A = this chain, B = another copy of it.
């Protein structure tokens, strides 16, 4: 992990860009912290340059509660080389949506599963490097982004002790089985009136999670319109479990 740039945001949060091999990432740490702080991994749908304003907002909100946050680019997104199979699956998805056809399971599997297979070990490698920094302690949470990456991480990565998931992307069938193996506390956000989202799939996934503590928080406002109070509640979830 190499830091390539750093700056202070208005509220004193230290923002550092880094690369992890070929993968770009960003780390945010609270301005004033005397002891190592817990870490939240910030998931996103891919495309750090485009997602930056929302990610920085979440990072600053989390820093105010004493959390470090970090994110890395997804395979095939942003400034990383495109993946032929993913591009093909995206084109198939667009075609189905434009034709008003139902999105078939084979399209969803082709779009999401290779991404999960590639991304999860990358997040784990990032975690290795991040937890080696003296200013970052633990425990670790995962927040938002492609929900299947969050589910897989929750199953395979024991250092992640709580996850806030965003039910806003397509869910391969195999993930419903995988969800049963999740046992960490979960805070699931669902935009009830998100027209591009399969609400019933999100409810089925929530039902499948094996966690004893799981909360579904459904709100209005469309895909990108998560209300401020729901963001606050997500941070409080991490405060309960990481502090």
Q: Taking beta carbons and an 8 Å cutoff, which residues of A are in contact with B?
A: 192, 203, 206-207, 211-220, 227, 229-230, 233, 236-237, 240
A218 touches B216 (CB 8 A): yes
Min CB gap A96→B, angstroms: 25
Instruction: Report B-chain residues with C-beta under 8 Å of the C-beta of A217.
Output: 215-218
Min CB gap A74→B, angstroms: 29
The residue of chain B having its C-beta at the shortest distance from the C-beta of A203 within the complex is: B203
The A interface, classified by DSSP as helix, strand, loop or mixed, is mixed
B218 touches A206 (CB 8 A): yes
Taken together as a complex, chains A and B put the C-alpha atoms of A219 and B218 apart, in Å, by: 12
Taken together as a complex, chains A and B put the C-alpha atoms of A215 and B217 apart, in Å, by: 7
A220 touches B227 (CB 8 A): no
Taken together as a complex, chains A and B put the C-alpha atoms of A192 and B212 apart, in Å, by: 11
Instruction: Report B-chain residues with C-beta under 8 Å of the C-beta of A227.
Output: 213, 215
Instruction: Report B-chain residues with C-beta under 8 Å of the C-beta of A230.
Output: 215
In the A-B complex, the 10 residue pairs with the smallest Cβ-Cβ separation, listed nearest first, are A216-B218, A215-B219, A217-B217, A214-B220, A233-B233, A213-B220, A212-B220, A229-B240, A215-B218, A215-B217
Instruction: Report B-chain residues with C-beta under 8 Å of the C-beta of A211.
Output: 220
Instruction: Report B-chain residues with C-beta under 8 Å of the C-beta of A192.
Output: 206-207, 214, 216
Known: A192-B214, A214-B219, A215-B217. 9 other contacts (CB 8 A): A192-B206, A192-B216, A206-B218, A211-B220, A212-B220, A214-B220, A216-B217, A216-B218, A229-B236
Min CB gap A188→B, angstroms: 9
Instruction: Report B-chain residues with C-beta under 8 Å of the C-beta of A212.
Output: 220
Min CB gap A193→B, angstroms: 9
